[in-house]
Homo-oligomer: A and B are copies of this chain.
Amino acid sequence: MSTSTAAQRREQAKVAYDAYLANCPVRRVLDRVSDKWVILLLNALADGPRRYAELRRIVAGVSEKMLTQTLRSLERDGLVTRTVTASVPARVDYALTDLGMSLLPVMRALKAWAEAHIAEIDAARADYDRAQP
């Protein structure tokens, strides 16, 4: 008898790789940054603090649920701060931390690549779709 079946070996590899994926810094940062609303929010906060309602307006189309949820996870990861001013009505300001700001240049590099090459991607895609309809 063999020590393990192919299925068991695949299962092993999968478990090991899931663990690797979960710990891989690049993937973890990518997961954070590639959330649908994160880039938009970082962008909206790039010029200074914003209030909740401002963000909802600037990042049009975001639901309150996702806005709150995304801001909370960014706060949890130390990328933004949340400052509550006790007044009537309540006032909450969100701002980038130093860590959050340090991410901006990376995002700008990505933006530069994106804008420089998106046309090539579109062209390649059009070619591909023309060849295999």
Contacts and interface: CB of A to CB of B under 8 A. Distances in A.
Contacts of A109: 106, 109
- Copies of the polypeptide in the assembly: 2
Nearest to A109: B109
Interface stretch (A46-54, A88-96, A117-125): A117-125
Interface residues of A, number: 50
Nearest to A29: B114
Interface of A: 13-18, 20-21, 25-34, 36, 39, 59-62, 75-79, 99, 102-103, 106-107, 109-111, 113-115, 117-118, 120-121, 123-125, 127-129
27 contacts: A14-B60, A14-B61, A17-B61, A17-B62, A21-B36, A25-B115, A26-B114, A28-B118, A28-B121, A29-B114, A29-B118, A30-B39, A30-B110, A31-B34, A75-B128, A76-B128, A77-B124, A77-B125, A78-B120, A78-B121, A78-B123, A78-B128, A99-B117, A102-B113, A102-B117, A103-B113, A106-B110
